[in-house]
Every structure is written in C-alpha cells, then in structure tokens.
Amino acid sequence: MTTSTALPPAPVPPVSPGQRSKKQVPHNVRTSRRAAWIFAPSLLVSFVFVYVFIGITVYISLSNWKIGTSPDLTLRQPFGGTYGEIIQEQRFQADIRNVVIFTIIFLVLAIFGGLIAALFIHHVSVGKGLFRTVFLLPYALSFIVTGVAWRWIFSPSTGVNEILRSIGIENPPGWTTDTTILGALNDPSGTDFLKVQFGIPVALLPIIFAAAWQLVGFAMAMYLAGLASIPEEHLEAASVDGANTWQRLRHIVLPQLWPSTITCFVLLLHVALKIFDLVVAMSGSGPGFVTDVPGIYIYNYLTSRYDKASAMAIILLLLTLAVIVPYLIRGYRKERKA
C-alpha cells in the first residue's frame, strides 16, 4: 500500500461487508443499517448544500434573473445565451488567460520549490525543525495577510523597485498596475472573437510570488513525508552497487515521491483555480482586467447580474471538477482494491 503522505502507521483500509477481514468489526446487517442512518443527516445536508445548490446555480445561469431582489426565473432565449454572452467579453477572456497563466507558473514554483526545499531540509544536519517550521509558517496565514504584505513589497515607489533602481534599472515595472504582457502570442484587433492578448501579464507576477510563498511549505511538507517513507535499505543497497547521489535521486527517490507530486499537483491546482482573496488584497481587477480572476468577476456581478455571476461560477466549477473528480475516483478505486 503506497501512501502519498506516508506517515506511519498506514490506516487500515475499510472493507466492504462482502470481504470481512480480521481487522473489521463483525457486524450484522441491522447494525450497519443503523450506522447508515447515523451518517444520513450529514450526507443529506451536504447533498442539498452542494449538489442541489449547484443545480440551482446552473438554472440561474440559464435564466433571466439579473438582480437578486427581483427573481426572474424564466429561461433565457436562446438557451444558454448567458454563456454565449460572457465568452465574448474581453473581461472573461482576460480572466481565463490570467487563471491559466497563474496556475502554470504558480504550480511550477510551488512544486519545484517544495521539492528542492524538502530534499535539502531532509538531509540537513542541524536545525531541521527550525527550517521546516519557517517554510510552513505562511500556510497558517490568511491570504489577506499575505496579500497586504506582498502588496507593500511590490508597491512601485517603495518596494523592490528601490532595489531595481539602485542596480541601474531605470524604469522598473509598475507591477500589479503594469499592463505589459510578456511573450504575447496574438494582437487582438477587437473585431474578432479574441479580445485579449495571450501571454504572461507582468501584473500577475507579484500575485503568483505571494501565492507560491504561502503554499511552498505545503508542498515541502508533502515531500518530506514522502521522503520519510523511503526505506533506508533501498538507498543503502544502491550505494553498495555504486550508485552516486544523482543516480540514487533519479532512480530511487524521485519515483517514490510520485504520489506526493500527484497530491501536491491536484490540491495546489484547485487552490489556484479558486484564487480570490489574495487578488482582492493585492490588486483587484487591475487596469484592463490585467489581474482579474473568475472569483472577482463573480463577486462583481453578484449585485447586478445573477445570471452572469452564475454562468462564470459554473465554468469555474467545471474546471475544478475536471481536476478533482478523477483524483477522488482514483482514491476510491484504490480503497476498493485494498
């Protein structure tokens, strides 16, 4: 049984009633039926507040409901017109670009940063506890606290730009208010469907750094747990066979850290898609929606356009489920096999 965060002892996998193991309570049908009734209320509440409420949101996104206080539950014609309306918006397209760029760079920084930090901290001879504590400290903070700190670090007049100017960079970037797009792939004319430049907005970089700073410790903790579960014997055997450090890392350590990587990838990806408070605290939508994200879009339209807010929320939900559902099903299947 490989565990992604293999901290001993491995929990006993549950066994379905058909295959009783010695570990399992012998329980009769009556007991398990009563147990099911104990679990039922929580399940019912969750079902209503998650699945039914998502259903309601889907319906609102297809309706003509605009202002919260005056419900209009007629279906919009043509069907799904709100989705058609928003995907043509410059703001929507900017949001999708931003969330994609944010996610990619953030994942690379947090996962590689966490992996490298874990490899070093795992092998350090002194002060392991201190290093680990400091790396994980930001995780205990609210994104709002992280946001105000990094807002100050990247404030154009008094922040890192002071350092950039002192080393001779005349015009440092305006950071969260900078409208430059690095490596732009296209030149939108405004008449076509595409209304935004696809590339890396400079304004997103401070927000990405802040998010990576807050969550790199999470990745580190996952990898440290993975490293702790690698049997010493494997590494010793490899040394005896004459493998050098790099070969041991490549052929033994990294393959065994794969479960940790999958966990980090999925959990951090879903954090990245949902990013909201950090952006609110650091920049808001920014000029030309250069730092806008789906979360802020939805928030803004909650006061004027229920249909648009709901449509964007459903698009965001689908993106999240595309990542999470395969992961959960994989865990479920593994348990069945166990």
Partner 1 sequence: MAVETLEASPSQPTPATRRRPGGLARKPRSWSLPKSLGGWIVLAVCAIATLGMLVPVYVIITTALSGSTGAPNFFLAFPDAPSLDAFKGAWTKLHGSLINSLQITIPAALISCLLGSINGYVLAKFPFRGSNALFTVLLVGMFIPFQAVIIPVFQFLNMLHLQGSIFGLIVVHVIYGIPITTLIFRNYYEGIPSAIVEAASIDGAGIWKTYLRVMIPLSAPGFVVAGIFQCTNIWNDFLFGFILASPAAWPATVTLNNLIGTTTVDYSELMAGAVLVALPTVVLYLVLGKFFVGGLTAGAVK
Please report, as residue ranges, which positions from 139 to 168 form the binding site for partner 1 (by CB under 8 A): 139-153, 155, 158-160, 162
Q: Which is nearer to partner 1, 53 or 79 (CB)?
A: 53
Interacting span for partner 1 (CB under 8 A) from 39-47, 84-92, 170-178, 190-198: 39-47
Q: Which is nearer to partner 1, 278 or 290 (CB)?
A: 278
Which helix (H) or strand (E) segment is 201 a member of? strand 200-201
Q: Does 215 bind partner 1 (CB under 8 A)?
A: no
Q: Does 5 bind partner 1 (CB under 8 A)?
A: yes
Cα separation, 230 vs 118, whole angstroms: 13
- In the numeric block, which tokens belong to residue 173? 């970037």
Cα separation, 61 vs 68, whole angstroms: 13
Interacting span for partner 1 (CB under 8 A) from 11-19, 92-100, 173-181, 249-257: 11-19
Q: Which is nearer to partner 1, 87 or 194 (CB)?
A: 87
Interacting span for partner 1 (CB under 8 A) from 51-59, 75-83, 104-112, 188-196: 51-59
Q: Which of residues 250-309 bind partner 1 (CB under 8 A)?
A: 259, 263, 267, 270, 273-274, 276-277, 280-281, 294-295, 298-299, 302, 306, 309
From the list 221, 257, 272, 290, which residue makes contact with partner 1 (rule: CB under 8 A)? Answer: 221
CB of 40 to partner 1, least distance (A): 9
Cα separation, 57 vs 327, whole angstroms: 24
Q: Which of residues 87-146 bind partner 1 (CB under 8 A)?
A: 117, 120-146
Q: Does 198 bind partner 1 (CB under 8 A)?
A: no
Q: Does 208 bind partner 1 (CB under 8 A)?
A: no
Cα separation, 95 vs 282, whole angstroms: 16
Q: Cβ–Cβ contacts within 10 Å for residue 66, how many? A: 14
- Scanning 64-138, the segments in alpha helix (DSSP H) are 81-87, 90-123, 128-136
Q: Determine the angle formed by the axes of helices 258-273 and 204-228, rounding to 10 degrees.
A: 150
Q: Does 332 bind partner 1 (CB under 8 A)?
A: yes
Cα separation, 82 vs 75, whole angstroms: 10
Among 303, 321, 302, 324, smallest CA distance to 311 is for 302
CB of 222 to partner 1, least distance (A): 7
Q: Does 83 bind partner 1 (CB under 8 A)?
A: no
Cα separation, 270 vs 262, whole angstroms: 12
